């Protein structure tokens, strides 16, 4: 993997990556008052095309996160998609890539105190060759001693930079204890999600995932998988609270997200999930998801934004 991209969109234009820097006195750097997105581009070698998955949904969520943070981001979703297309064409990726848009408070002063109002906002976007959060095999997870942030404290449905201290605490404690990942409970004692991924469990052929009011991130991959499970695999999906011990009794379990994609869980603490192997529904869903995001399922190509199109080339 490259150490860094060649370019970034920064302060209104595409610049060499080394020029996309902020001051150590930047407000967001000091107080975590930014919001970000994680988007994937998938290379289809047969078509020689790079497809960006559900870009409109990702940018809509980014702008919604900015709204929560009192940000005045003037770009529309369509304008953001055009900027991203130009950036990816400039990078020239012919492989999977991971895209990071970030909106942030751009002022370089901290003398006015911690606040969200009366501060200028800006946008940056960069893209890296593809990264994967989890290993290819089944994950060994635990329950975290930390609780998931509560929406009445820090907006759980927004991808707010400062909120990811919660995720970092959860993840590092799990990894240093010998696990791949951790599940975290919300303040009501129900299973919320993992450090940076949503959770599904399968019990008696039914897929169960925590509802959006359980302090989960309203995941775009989560929403995608709910639709694929129902429409393509004929699996019933129930959104409801999940108790701690239900995970121990699951026949299958998996995490999902832009980075995680579909990541099977085969062990939780000292207990196997089901028979300790990756389950049939999880395998079918993982394979189907990869076909969808790569443009191999015609029904869902409306979710994909092609980068190398005649229109994009003309604009570039």
Residue 13 within any structural domain of the chain:
yes
Q: Return mean pLDDT, the chain.
A: 94
Are 161 and 116 in the same domain?
A: no
Q: pTM of the predicted model, to two decimals?
A: 0.94
The structural domain count of the chain equals 2
pLDDT at 238 over 60: yes
Are 191 and 159 in the same domain?
A: yes
Query: Pick from 99, 82, 105: which is nearest to 8 by CA?
Result: 99
What CATH code is carried by the domain that includes residue 183?
A: 3.20.10.10
Q: Which domain holds residue 11?
A: 7-129
pLDDT-derived band at 315 (thresholds 50, 70, 90) equals very low
Region 95-121: mean pLDDT is 93
């Amino acid at each position: 993997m490259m150490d860094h991209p060649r370019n970034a969109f920064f302060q209104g234009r595409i610049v060499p990556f080394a020029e996309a820097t902020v001051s150590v006195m930047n407000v967001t750097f000091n107080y975590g008052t930014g919001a970000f997105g994680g988007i994937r581009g998938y290379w289809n070698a047969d078509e020689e095309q790079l497809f960006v998955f559900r870009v409109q949904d990702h940018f809509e969520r980014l702008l919604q996160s900015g709204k929560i943070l009192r940000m005045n981001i003037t770009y529309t979703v369509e304008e953001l998609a055009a900027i991203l297309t130009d950036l990816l064409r400039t990078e020239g990726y012919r492989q999977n890539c991971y895209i990071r848009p970030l909106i942030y408070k751009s002022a370089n002063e901290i003398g006015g105190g911690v606040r969200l109002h009366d501060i200028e906002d800006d946008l940056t976007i960069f893209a890296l060759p593809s990264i994967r959060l989890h290993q290819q095999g089944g994950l060994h997870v635990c329950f975290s001693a930390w609780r998931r942030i509560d929406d009445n404290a820090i907006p759980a449905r927004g991808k707010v930079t400062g909120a990811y201290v919660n995720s970092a605490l959860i993840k590092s404690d799990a990894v240093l204890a010998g696990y791949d990942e951790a599940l975290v409970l919300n303040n009501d004692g129900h299973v919320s999600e993992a450090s940076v991924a949503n959770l599904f469990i399968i019990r008696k052929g039914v897929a169960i995932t925590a509802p959006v009011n359980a302090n989960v991130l309203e995941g775009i991959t989560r929403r995608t998988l709910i639709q694929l499970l129902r429409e393509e695999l004929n699996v019933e999906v129930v959104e409801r609270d999940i108790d701690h011990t239900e995970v121990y009794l699951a026949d299958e379990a998996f995490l999902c997200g832009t980075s995680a994609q579909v990541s099977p869980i085969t062990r939780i603490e000292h207990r196997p999930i089901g028979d300790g192997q990756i389950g049939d529904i999880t395998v079918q869903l993982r394979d189907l998801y990869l076909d969808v995001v790569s443009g191999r399922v015609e029904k869902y190509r409306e979710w994909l934004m092609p980068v190398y199109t005649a229109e994009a080339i003309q604009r570039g």
